[in-house]
Structure 1
Amino acid sequence: MSVHDDAVAAVVAQLTLAADGAFIGVALAYVAVRSLLKLRSTSSALRQIERAPSLHVSDLRSLLEIDDSQSSSCGKLVIVRGVVDSKSSVNGDWRSTVLVGHESGEKGVILQRTQTCIYHEWKGFFGWSQELRSLLTRKQPKSSSMRMVPFVLADAGSWPHSKYVIVNMDGSRHPLPLVTVYHHFQPVSATPYTFLQALFGHQYPVGLVDEEKILPLGKEITAVGFCTLKSGTPEIKSSKDLPYFLSDLSKDQMILDLAFKTKLFLWTGVVLGVVAVGVLSYATMRNWTKWKEWRHGRQARQHDATESDDPDAQIVTDDDNGEVPDGELCVICLTRRRRSAFVPCGHLVCCQRCALRIEREGDKKCPVCMQPFQKSVRIYNS
């Protein structure tokens, strides 16, 4: 492990043990709450997908016409599986609008091009670490562009596609079932400027990765969303409450995936919640004990300072500084000689300082016979 990794590990350990584990307890509680929130949304999505009907494209029109919910603006939640085709081709437009990959030549309705710059870093003699610099700079090593044309889903195996459903991509941020058709790494030649960047610990590019992904024509996918009739043609739109819109998975595979995630979020939330409660309880007790010890210590220091300012408490004879026999030690402090007797019981069992302390506390009782006394009297040896 490098020196930098050791420093990061030390900082993490200090944060973990901060306030006797309170920091890690709060972090675990946060993760547990997030897991339970995800559990709720995943369980809701699982119930909706289980209730949603799985249909062919040819069955959508009849379902929407007889279903009462089609009067609402959102439509009916359905699961449709079909093949991808461009909207212009099913409309009979002789100018079939498709996208063609610049490098691969593949045809599709969605084209995504990504160019990623690969950086290398040598810390050099004057360089900062990559992690620290990443906190201070906002460098975007990746550029991406996406184009799409209107497309539909049609029944597989039928041509021409007389029955289809239009896919409305407006407002959808769901992952897309794209296929990688081109991937190329191009190294970047080093320059004298690259040497200076490495010398001073700056990142320098070593290569460019060009990647091209498309949603090809004829690909069979599943669409999950709200379907409505627009001008007599079914149209499906994504739902923000569902994790899927266009996917390679079937309905049964989606249910299995969501059921697994539900169990995972449930046990993660329960286990981390129990651990967080235990850690926070331990940290609370430890910090409460430390606070009480600090408060008692502060009170004791204030009391000692008050006694040091009291002229009566500073009266100590010379023979108290020497060795005191066990039978003559104060029964309270066990360090000084017995010098004060209590009136009227007459017990000579305390030093003058302890006797004055008992008198000030208000509970004037002899520590031997536990009878109330009026005052303490200093006894002098002749």
Structure 2
Amino acid sequence: GCLVGIGFDFILAYGLHRLYKRALRSAINIENVQKYSIDRELSKKLEDAPYSVIPYGCIEGVIYPAGATLKSNFNLEKEGVMQHTSLVEHKSRRVQGIWSDVKNVIRDTLEMIPFYLVPHGEGLHTTKVLVTEPNSAHHIDEELSVTHENFIQTPSDIIKKGMELISGEVHKGYQETEKMLLVGRHLMAIGKLVKEGEEIKMMPPSSDFRYILSQKTKDELVRLHRNKATIYKVLVGVLGVAGATLICVLVYRYYKKIKNYKDEQRRKEEFQRLRDREEQRRARIAHRRNPETLLSNTNSDTSDNDWDQSKCVVCLTNEREVVLLNCGHVCVCGDCAFALPEPKKCPVCRERVERFVTTFTP
């Protein structure tokens, strides 16, 4: 379990660390990007640049269509260069007795036309920059204005509602939404500036930089990405602490396992030494006895009964050699004492065995 947790923690921390590095790099790149005005100076700088390319630059201007504009389907006064329409079905579904909202996208379309960024108050007769691949830019979705939003509730009666409750799926209605990037809006673009012939283009930069189209200022974008980087950094730190804790728990468990094993081996060795010493002592006592005494003891019923009572109650072979604590019963041999299943319990009274010590028979 700990190993799985450590592996999952490492993968998640690695992913968040990559997001942190990307957000921090984006903040630094945006902060250091050079801002250019849309004028003849920009055209001249591009001509002087290697291959007529500025790898990463920033411009600001007003959206101006390169051709016929897109008209809103619901408000003909609204004109734009990007139009996103969607139709989403909303319903509730019961899963294992729990109701949850479910969305089903029925239609999701995006239309766009080429557009320029021009200086404020100017038209196409002045210097302009053609914006390419605007749908791939970051933050562009935030700049789309909602031109239409309507929720169409599904008509239902008592019978239909009852059938839906029985089936576990209740239809609520349809959400219809239209968003547009409107003509005349101010927009800041950060990306690669290229001059091809007489035309200046803003296009996605290399993979090390982010392509951005937004109404936010540079400072606002820098703060936004730095805040993201801070959040990712905190999450990485939390996961790092959690991972270190899991590693400590795993190491502690391994240490306890090794320690318990060594303690068990040490107790067995100590017990074996005591057993050998006891056997030697008994052998010396038996050697001192005369044959008549040994014979009489062997033939005595009392001795037989004493001998039977001295046998281990588990294996019925070895003699009772240890005292089980805290109950104090002397009922098992050393081998069976070690072999008692965990948690160890006294075979006589079933009380938990905290420890056991060797006893000696006089």
For the aligned pair, the TM-score class normalised by the smaller chain equals 0.5 to 0.7
**Structure 1 residue corresponding to 2:238, chosen from 271, 275, 282:** 271
Give, in angstroms, the shift of residue 122 of structure 1. Answer: 5.5
* AA matched with 1:157: G
Give, in angstroms, the shift of residue 293 of structure 1. Answer: 6.4
**Structure 2 residue corresponding to 1:82, chosen from 47, 54, 61:** 61
Give, in angstroms, the shift of residue 117 of structure 1. Answer: 1.4
TM-score of the superposition, structure 2-length normalised? 0.66
Q: Secondary structure at the match of 1:140?
A: strand
* AA matched with 1:261: K
Give, in angstroms, the shift of residue 102 of structure 1. Answer: 0.4
Aligned equivalent of 2:278: none
With over 3 angstroms needed to count, the CA separation of the structure-2 counterparts of 1:27 and 1:353, relative to structure 1, is closer
Alignment of 1:333 with 2:319, yes or no, is no
Alignment of 1:100 with 2:71, yes or no, is yes
Structure 2: gaps spanning 5 or more residues? 268-305, 314-318, 325-330, 336-360
Structure 1: gaps spanning 5 or more residues? 1-18, 89-96, 301-315, 324-328, 336-350, 356-379
With over 3 angstroms needed to count, the CA separation of the structure-2 counterparts of 1:178 and 1:241, relative to structure 1, is farther
Give, in angstroms, the shift of residue 269 of structure 1. Answer: 1.4
Aligned equivalent of 2:309: 319
Alignment of 1:168 with 2:132, yes or no, is yes
**Structure 2 residue corresponding to 1:50, chosen from 15, 19, 31:** 31
Aligned equivalent of 2:221: 254
TM-score of the superposition, structure 1-length normalised? 0.63
Q: Secondary structure at the match of 1:261?
A: helix
Q: RMSD of the TM alignment (CA)?
A: 3.9
Q: Report if the CA contact (8 A) 1:82-1:222 is conserved.
A: yes
**Structure 2 residue corresponding to 1:143, chosen from 107, 116, 137:** 107
**Structure 2 residue corresponding to 1:206, chosen from 167, 172, 178:** 172
Aligned equivalent of 2:12: 31
Q: Secondary structure at the match of 1:36?
A: helix
Aligned equivalent of 1:184: 150
Deviations 1:4-37 (A, max 9, x none): xxxxxxxxxxxxxxx3x55554444333222211
Which whole-Å CA distance do the structure 2 matches of 1:141 and 1:160 have between them? 39
Which whole-Å CA distance do the structure 2 matches of 1:84 and 1:221 have between them? 7
With over 3 angstroms needed to count, the CA separation of the structure-2 counterparts of 1:39 and 1:180, relative to structure 1, is same
With over 3 angstroms needed to count, the CA separation of the structure-2 counterparts of 1:322 and 1:68, relative to structure 1, is closer
Aligned equivalent of 1:62: 44
Alignment of 1:224 with 2:196, yes or no, is no
Give, in angstroms, the shift of residue 248 of structure 1. Answer: 1.3
Which whole-Å CA distance do the structure 2 matches of 1:154 and 1:291 have between them? 74
* AA matched with 1:282: V
Q: Report if the CA contact (8 A) 2:24-2:229 is conserved.
A: yes
More strand by share: 2
With over 3 angstroms needed to count, the CA separation of the structure-2 counterparts of 1:241 and 1:205, relative to structure 1, is farther
Give, in angstroms, the shift of residue 150 of structure 1. Answer: 0.8
Deviations 1:325-365 (A, max 9, x none): xxxx97x6347xxxxxxxxxxxxxxx99769xxxxxxxxxx
Which whole-Å CA distance do the structure 1 matches of 2:219 and 2:334 have between them? 83
Q: Report if the CA contact (8 A) 2:88-2:176 is conserved.
A: yes
Q: Report if the CA contact (8 A) 2:10-2:243 is conserved.
A: yes
Q: Secondary structure at the match of 1:156?
A: coil
* AA matched with 1:256: R
With over 3 angstroms needed to count, the CA separation of the structure-2 counterparts of 1:280 and 1:200, relative to structure 1, is farther
Aligned equivalent of 1:237: 203
Give, in angstroms, the shift of residue 64 of structure 1. Answer: 0.8
Q: Report if the CA contact (8 A) 2:136-2:211 is conserved.
A: no
Q: Report if the CA contact (8 A) 1:26-1:280 is conserved.
A: no
With over 3 angstroms needed to count, the CA separation of the structure-2 counterparts of 1:190 and 1:229, relative to structure 1, is same
* AA matched with 2:66: K
Larger radius of gyration: 2
Q: Report if the CA contact (8 A) 1:79-1:251 is conserved.
A: no
Which whole-Å CA distance do the structure 1 matches of 2:18 and 2:139 have between them? 21
Aligned equivalent of 1:11: none
